[in-house]
Amino acid sequence: MKLKTLLHSVAAIAVAGPALADVNIYSARHYDSDTVLFDQFEEETGIAVNRIEGDSDELIARMQAEGDNSPADIFLTVDAGRLWRADEAGLLSAVDSDVLKNRIPEFLRHPDGHWFGLSQRARIIFYAKDRVDNPPQTYEALADDAYEGQICIRSSSNVYNQSLLASIIEADGEEAAQDWAAGVRENMARDPQGGDTDQLRGIVSGECDIAVTNTYYFLRGLVDDVDGLTSGIDNIGWVWPNQDDRGAHTNIAGAAVTASAPNRDEAVQFLEFLTSDFAQEHFANQNNEYPAVPGVALGEGVAQLGYFIPDNTTPRSAYGSNAPKAQEIFNAVDWP
């Protein structure tokens, strides 16, 4: 993906250097509505926001190439595994902020403040209400023989599935995780294809009875008109898995202050702003996600799914540290 700059040009940052009252954001989030947050922050603080967009891996590679001279103050991305990779590369720095520690629950942030989750994206189980009388109530149950030939789920290269399996490795151990992956592979209605929306479309078309997807893909079909999904969405039910034990798997959109940040104080101030009620509502609502800060009002779409018990015991850093083993397991069970 070609990198682009909003609000200020890359050349201005690279040649002239960041202004004294600027904060430079390398963002893998591609929502124009983020501009509302940046404008509000600038209005409240007088600190201008410069945004460079790109794919997460591109931005990580860019920061590595720039080294200590990188103008990046903030790395903003989705999936804890990507934040873990940036941290392992030495690109992130510790932040000691009472605001961030008090606002962001411990399970949604790095233990030493290297990154902070700003919204939660739950990956749960959906099913055809007219064809499934007893849907699986846990992730582990997806591997049960009772669901043979019923499951639609994405490929092993998908980062959402990699993080899900990484969490199962952390919770149940490697041997159990491989048995699970093999069981789900056996229960697939078809080889993985397409994105999360396509798994839900499979329920509508009758190609599969059960799908594993992030909740916001379902909500897009619920609040908008999504071809092949909205017309049959009333027949799709959902299960919040593992509510009697560790809780439902959630990943994050999150941010960190970079190790080379030339505007570190402004960067910390920006992260603290993103935990305000205003920013939390806007940050989560624009993609039908759950806020990271407890007590912040749910968006209209998310409220239709309601509250749930998230997995607050599995460290989000495990999504990255266990990712190589997860891919190894996927390969071993021939999960395409």
On whether residue 229 sits in a domain, the answer given is: yes
Both tokens assigned to 155? 């490929």
Query: Which band of pLDDT confidence, cut at 50, 70 and 90, is reported for residue 145?
Result: very high
Work out the pLDDT band at 166, boundaries 50, 70, 90. Answer: very high
294 and 198 belong to one structural domain: no
Where do the H-state alpha helices sit in the chain? 10-11, 34-45, 56-66, 80-88, 98-103, 159-172, 174-187, 196-205, 215-223, 264-273, 277-285, 300-305, 318-321, 323-332
Does the structure show a pLDDT above 60 at 1? no
- 225 and 141 inside one domain: yes
Identify the pLDDT of residue 11: 36
CB 93 within 8 A of CB 114: yes
Whole-prediction pTM: 0.90
Position 155 in a domain: yes
**36 and 141 belong to one structural domain:** no
Q: Classify residue 307: in a domain, yes or no.
A: no
- Residue 85's contacts (CB-CB under 8 Å, 6 or more residues apart) are 60, 320
12 and 133 share one domain: no
CA 81, CA 60: separation in Å to the nearest integer?
Answer: 13
Q: What are 9-67's pLDDT values in tens digits?
A: 333 344 344 444 799 999 998 877 789 999 999 999 999 999 999 999 999 999 999 99
Domain-embedded: residue 218:
yes
326 and 197 in a common domain = yes
For residues 117 and 109, the answer to whether their CB atoms sit within 8 Å is: yes
Q: What is the pLDDT of residue 5?
A: 39
Give the model's confidence band at 174: pLDDT under 50 very low, under 70 low, under 90 confident, else very high. very high
Q: Which residue has the tokens 């590369």?
A: 89
Is the residue at 263 inside a domain?
yes
Domain count, the chain: 2
Tokens representing 290? 């759950």
- What is the reported pLDDT for 4? 38
Same domain, 209 and 328: yes
Note the pLDDT tens digit of each residue in 78-105: 999 999 999 999 999 999 999 999 999 9
Cα(309)–Cα(315) distance, integer angstroms: 15
- Which residues, other chains included, contact 33 with Cβ-Cβ below 8 Å and sequence gap of 6+? 282, 286
Residue 34, pLDDT score: 87
Count other C-beta atoms under 10 Å from residue 72's C-beta: 28
Is residue 227 located within the same domain as residue 244?
yes
CATH of the domain at 58: 3.40.190.10
Residues 116 and 14 in one domain: yes
CB 163 within 8 A of CB 214: no
The reply to whether 311 falls in a domain is no
Per the domain annotation, does 52 fall within a domain?
yes
Residues 126 and 72 in one domain: no
Residues 177 and 85 in one domain: no
In a domain, 304, yes or no: no
Angle, in degrees to the nearest 10, between helices 174-187 and 159-172: 130
Tell me the sheet residues that pair with 152.
Answer: 211
Query: Is the same domain home to 326 and 200?
Result: yes
One domain, residues 166 and 186: yes
Q: What is the pLDDT of residues 286-317, one digit of tens each?
A: 899 999 999 999 999 899 999 999 999 999 99
In three state form, how does the secondary structure of 71-101 look? CCCEEEEECHHHHHHHHHCCCECCCCCHHHH
User: Could you tell me the residue range of the domain that residue 289 belongs to?
Assistant: 4-120+251-298
